[in-house]
Amino acid sequence: MKKIVLFYPRGYDNSVQKIRINELTGLMPPLGLASIAAVVRKKGHEVLLIDACAHPKITNSQWAEKLAAQKPDFVGFCATTAAFNDAYDVCKKLKETAPQIKTIFGGIHVSALKEKILQNYPAVDFVVAGEGEFAVCDILDGKKTEDIPGVFSRNGTTVAAGEPQTVKTLCNMDDLPFPAYDLIEKFPQRYNMALFSYPQFPTANIISSRGCVYHCSFCDRSVYQTTFRWNSPQYTCDLVKYLSQDFGIKHVCFYDDLFTLNRERVSQLCKLLREKTPKITFNCIVRIGHIDKELIAELKSAGCWMVHCGIESGDQEILDRHKENLSLEQIRKDIYTLHKSGLWVKGLFMMGFPGETEKSFRKTIDFAVSLPLKDANLTSFTPYLGAPTYDEIEKYGEFDKSAKNWDNCDCITPVFVPYSMKSREQMSTLYGEFIRRFYNRPFAYGVYNKMFIQCPHSYWRLLKNLPIYLKYAAEMKFR
C-alpha cells in the first residue's frame, strides 16, 4: 500500500494575501482529483486530498511543509494552464524539503505538453497525459511506465513513455466509484456556485459525461480527444441521491459540456430524478440546436432551474470561423423557447477571437442585450496548448507563448490581442461596455427583483462582500 496526497493548486501567487474576486463569486470542488482519489482508495492505497483554493492564506512554502509533513510516497498535482506555475512552485519547494517524495503532474495543461514537462521541470517525476484514475493507480502499484498508457517518467537522462491513451484504454464511467466528496475539506459549506445561479444551498457540481463531438477553435482536446462518454441515468441519479442524503445538497450543477446531447439518456435521467430526488433542483448546459419543447418539459419536470447556453458571438462570420454548426437565427430561436418555458437562461460569450474587430464585438454586445438572458458570462479568447488555433496563433494576433504568461491564461485577462484590435486597453474598454449594457437593461431590472427573492443565499453573500464587489467593479470600469 502506498500513500498519496492529491493537491489542487490555488493558481496565483498569494504572497500579498489579497482577496481575489473569483474566490467570492464562485468556487467549485476539484472533482477530477476527487474521482482519482475515489479509485485510489478503492484500490487499497491511502489518499489525502487538499484544495489550496479553500485555504487562500496559506503560502506555497507552507504548503510544501504541510505536504512533506504527511510523509507520503507520492504527491499528485492537477493543474490548468493558469495554475501550472503555482503548482510547480509548490512542487519545487516540496522537493527541496523532501526529495524522496515522488511527484506526479496531470491535467489538461500537461496532457498537451507531455514529455516536455519532464524535460523542462526537474522537480516533476511523472506526467499523466489524459485520464488519471487508473494511470495514477498503476504508478502507485509500481508498474513500469512503458506499460501504463498516457504516462511519462524519467529514465536517467531520457524519458520513458507508455503508449498514448486510446478509446480502448479509457475507463467505463459507470465502473468508477463516486468522486470522494468526503475527502474534500469543508465540503459543501466552503463551496459556492456563481452568485444568483442557484435557488437553494448547499450546492454541488457533477460531471456526468466526458468529451465533446464538436471541434470549436478555442477548445483544448488534450485529455478526452474526440471521445464522448457518459454515466448511465441510474448511476447519475444515484450520485445525486448520495449527495442529497450524505451532504444535504439541495441544488446541483451538471458541469458537462454536452449534457443534453444523448437525448435518451436525458429522458431516462429526468424520469429517475422526478421519482427519486423530487426536491433537488439543478442547472445544466444545453447546446443550441439540441433544444425543443419536449426536452425542456422533461428538464423542468425533473427540477431544472437554469440552463447555460454557449453563444460566444453575435457576429455570424466569427461564429462560422470558430464555433461549429451555430447560427444567430438558431440561437435567438432557442433562447426565446427556453425563456418562454420559464427557465432562467444564462448566455456564455467570448471576446477577442482571431479576426475579431471592434465592430464585430459590438454586434455581440447588441445581440446579447437583445436576448431574454437572465445572466451572462464573458470570457477572453485564450489560445490553449491543445486547441486547434494554438500552433498558428501568431498569424492572427499578439500572444506570449512563454511559461511566464501562463499565469494570465485565466479566460479573463486578455492575453491574446488580435491584429484586428488596437490594444488590450481597447479590449478592456469593450469588456466593461458589455458588462454595463447587459446589466443595465430594463429586462435585467425585472430579473433582479425576482432573483433577490428566489436566491436568498446569494443575496446574503452579495451583501456580506458588497464593498469588495464595488471596489472590483470600479477597478474594472464596469460601473
pLDDT 10s digits, 208-219: 999 887 777 778
Task: Say how many C-beta atoms besides its own lie within 10 A of residue 398's C-beta.
Answer: 14
Angle between helices 358-370 and 424-439 (to 10 degrees): 10
Mean pLDDT for 111-129 is 96
Q: What is the pLDDT of residue 468?
A: 81
Q: What is the pLDDT of residue 16?
A: 47
Q: Which residues touch 394 (CB under 8 Å, ≥6 apart)?
A: none
Mean pLDDT for 246-258 is 95
Render pLDDT for 408-441 as a digit per residue (tens, 0 to 9): 998 888 999 999 999 999 999 999 999 999 999 9
Mean pLDDT for 332-357 is 96
Q: What is the pLDDT of residue 29?
A: 94
Name the residue with cell 449527495: 243
Mean pLDDT for 129-135 is 94
How many Cα atoms are found within 13 Å in the side-chain-facing hemisphere of 193? 24
Q: What is the pLDDT of residue 334?
A: 96
Q: Which CATH superfamily is domain 3-161 in?
A: Cobalamin-binding domain (3.40.50.280)
Mean pLDDT for 172-191 is 95
Q: What is the pLDDT of residue 452?
A: 85
Q: Which of 2-16, 294-308, 353-367 has the lowest mean pLDDT?
A: 2-16
pLDDT exceeds cutoff 60 at 169 = yes
Render pLDDT for 232-244 as a digit per residue (tens, 0 to 9): 999 999 999 999 9
Q: What is the DSSP pairing of strand 375-380 with strand 344-351?
A: parallel
Q: What is the pLDDT of residue 166?
A: 84
Q: Which of 17-21, 91-95, 340-344 has the lowest mean pLDDT?
A: 17-21
Q: What is the pLDDT of residue 22?
A: 65
Tell me if residue 469 falls in helix, strand or coil: helix
CA–CA gap between residue 172 and residue 332 (Å, rounded): 37
Render pLDDT for 71-90 as a digit per residue (tens, 0 to 9): 999 999 998 999 999 999 99
Q: What is the pLDDT of residue 225?
A: 67
Q: Which residue has the higher pLDDT, 2 or 442?
A: 2
Mean pLDDT for 51-70 is 94
Type of residue at 116: K
Gyration radius of the chain's alpha carbons: 22
Name the residue with cell 430526488: 277
Mean pLDDT for 288-292 is 88
- Tell me the whole-structure pTM to 2 decimals: 0.94
Percent pLDDT > 70 in the chain is 95
Domains in the chain: boundaries = 3-161, 193-475
Average pLDDT, the chain: 92
Give the DSSP H or E segment for 135: helix 133-140
pLDDT exceeds cutoff 80 at 472 = no
Exposure string (b/e) for 7-21, b if CB count within 10 Å is 16 or more?
A: bbbbbbebeeeeeeb
Q: What is the pLDDT of residue 224?
A: 67
Query: What would the CATH number be for the domain defined by 193-475?
Result: 3.80.30.20
Mean pLDDT for 139-159 is 94
pLDDT exceeds cutoff 90 at 226 = no
Largest CA distance in the chain: 66
Tell me if residue 475 falls in helix, strand or coil: helix
Render pLDDT for 291-335 as a digit per residue (tens, 0 to 9): 899 999 999 999 999 999 999 999 999 999 998 788 999 999 999
